[in-house]
Amino acid sequence: MLQKLAQIEEEALAALANIQDEAALEAWRIANMGRSAPVMSVFSQMGALSKEERPLVGQRANQVKLAIESAFAQKAEEVKQAALQKSLASERLDVTLPGRPLRQGRLHPATQNLRRILSILGEMGFQVYTSREVESDEYNFQLLNIPPYHPAREMQDTFYIETGVTEEAERQVLRTHTSPGQIRAMRQFAAENPPNPPEIRIALPGMVYRFEQITSRSEVQFNQVEGLVVGKNITFGDLKGTLAEFVRRMFGRSAKTRFRASYFPFTEPSAEMDVECFVCGGKGCGVCKKSGWLEILGCGMVHPTVLQNGGYDPAVYSGFAFGMGPERQLMLRHKITDIRYLWGNDMRFLEQF
């Protein structure tokens, strides 16, 4: 009997060694591990054995059964691995084929750029204040220290609204800058506490309009972002420091600025701020027209008359204001040579942002 068991083990393991696939393995399992497997028949013949032989044969039969089972487990793992390898090899993709396209939505580049500016200003404490686009002559000009026929009006070619009124002072205009919002904001805030109006730190973004022919360099509408700071201790040094910080956040920590005297009716002293050309690093290139500097914004200390018109006593309050053209910055940064791309909304342009 013991001899028979040795033969059973030997034959079973030999048959197993030749097996390659799962079907043969399953057939082998049924033949060698099923109810009618040879080793099982040994167990069923145990009754016929002598009392002495029975433990020996029983022990041996268990050993053979376990050996077969363990060999099967090992073989099953091998067969599974082989099958997996085969299947992985057959499922190889051309990973260079394009991905399945999605419908991609995007924000307009002007929106993206405006948000960047407003977010930097927001971190610096400038709250966004928006105001209307069709304005009275009074708000767009007069309250900003630009009386009718003032030479400063020539700095801004104006679209007028047909209202039947011809007297310049009474006309409606498309705002030429976001500055009328300064007056609206000051008046709104001053009304909260007229004897002691609250300090102001706001950003005024929005579309402004100039009466110009549309060319690659000039547009009838474009965004502007203005900033207004009003408080009891605001100085020209603060203006320089705040704007230099804005520029470092906007154009990089190493961005340098330069302030030149200028003129705006609603600020005094007034300045133009140039930023060292971020394309060439100040060495001079086509973008900065070889000057090494880019004109980025106009600024100045809020004119006493404007503070007064806003309901802030210029003897107590001072402030500064600045204004910039976000689209100009966008064009400089991306070397866009034609401003008409912006409102042309050609998908071939928009999809690049």
Partner 1 sequence: MKLPLSWINEFVQIDDIPVVEVARLLTAAGLEIDDIRFAGLPLPDRDDHGFKVSGIAWDKEKIVVAEIRAVNPHPNADRLTLCELFDGEKLHTVLTGAPNLHPYKGQGTLPQPIKVAYAKEGATIYDGHAEGLSLTTLKRAKIRGVESYSMVCSEKELGISEEHEGVIFLDEDAQAGTPLTDYMGDAVLEISILPNHARNTSVMGIARELAALTGRQMKKPQSPLQTGGEAIGGRLHIRIGDPALNSRFMAGLIRGVTMRPSPYWVQRRLRLCGMRPISNIVDATNYTMLEIGQPLHAFDHSILQQRAAGTPITILTRTATPGETLLTLDGVTRKLTETNVLVCDEHGALSLAGVMGGAESEINDHTADILLEAAAWNFINIRKTANQHNLPSEASYRFSRGVHPSLAEEGLRRCLYWMQQWSGGQIAPDTVDEYPQPPHTPTIHITSQDIRRALGIQIPLPQAKTLLEGLEFQCEIRSSEVETLVVTPPPFRMDIGEGITGIADVMEEIARLYGYDNIPETRLADPLPPQRGNPSLEAEEKIRNLLAGLGLQEVITYRMTSPEVEAKLLPSNLPTPHTEYVRLANPIAPEKRVLRRSLLASLLGIAEKNNRLRETLALFEIGAIYLPQTGDLPAEPRRLAISLSGKRYPNGWDEKPAAKLDFYDLKGILEALFGVLHLNITYAPAENPTYHPGKCAAVKMAETTLGVFGELHPLVQENYDFSAPMLAADLDLEAILHALPGGYPLQAVSEYPPIYEDIALIVEEDTPAEKVEALIRQTGGKMLEEVRLFDVFRGEQIGAGKKSLAYALVYRSPEGTLTDKDSAQIRNRIVRRLENETGAKLRS
3-state secondary structure at position 205: strand
Least distance (Å) from partner 1 to the CB of residue 89? 22
Please, which residue, 25 or 121, has the CB nearer to partner 1? 121
HSE (CB half, 13 Å, CA atoms) of 176? 24
* From 39-47, 51-59, 240-248, 329-337, span contacting partner 1 (CB under 8 A): 240-248
Please, which residue, 47 or 99, has the CB nearer to partner 1? 99
Q: For partner 1, how many residues bind (rule: CB under 8 A)? A: 99
Among 33, 220, 279, 287, binds partner 1 (CB under 8 A): 220
> Among 299, 175, 327, 138, which residue's Cα sits nearest to residue 228?
299
Please, which residue, 57 or 247, has the CB nearer to partner 1? 247
Among 167, 233, 253, 254, binds partner 1 (CB under 8 A): 233
If one counts every other C-beta atom within 10 angstroms of the C-beta of residue 232, the result is 11
Distance CA 23, CA 1 (A): 31
3-state secondary structure at position 283: coil
| 212 Cβ neighbours under 8 A, 6+ residues apart | 157, 218, 219, 220
Least distance (Å) from partner 1 to the CB of residue 99? 8
Among 1, 49, 71, 238, binds partner 1 (CB under 8 A): 238
The yes or no reply on residue 204 touching partner 1 (CB under 8 A) is no
Among 260, 286, 334, 337, binds partner 1 (CB under 8 A): 260
The secondary element (H helix, E strand) that includes residue 286 is none
- If you search the block for the tokens 């100039």, which residue do you land on? 210
Least distance (Å) from partner 1 to the CB of residue 235? 3
The yes or no reply on residue 55 touching partner 1 (CB under 8 A) is no
* From 17-25, 75-83, 204-212, 330-338, span contacting partner 1 (CB under 8 A): 204-212
Span 117-176, contacts to partner 1 by CB under 8 A? 125, 127-130, 132-136, 147-152, 154-155, 159-162, 171-172, 174
* From 11-19, 43-51, 69-77, 260-268, span contacting partner 1 (CB under 8 A): 260-268
Please, which residue, 32 or 176, has the CB nearer to partner 1? 176
Distance CA 135, CA 28 (A): 93
Please, which residue, 53 or 170, has the CB nearer to partner 1? 170
Contact 297, 322 (CB under 8 A): yes
**Per-residue burial over 69-108, b = 16 or more CB atoms within 10 Å of its CB, e = otherwise:** eebbeebeeebeeeeeeeeeeeeeeeeeeeeeeeeeeeee
Name the region of 2 (left: φ>0; alpha: ψ -120 to 50; beta: rest): alpha
User: Parallel, antiparallel, or unpaired for β 293-302 and 200-209?
Assistant: unpaired
Span 265-324, contacts to partner 1 by CB under 8 A? 265, 268-271, 283-284, 289-293, 301, 303-305, 314-315, 318
Contact 174, 134 (CB under 8 A): yes
Among 199, 256, 311, 333, binds partner 1 (CB under 8 A): 199
Least distance (Å) from partner 1 to the CB of residue 187? 15
The yes or no reply on residue 100 touching partner 1 (CB under 8 A) is yes
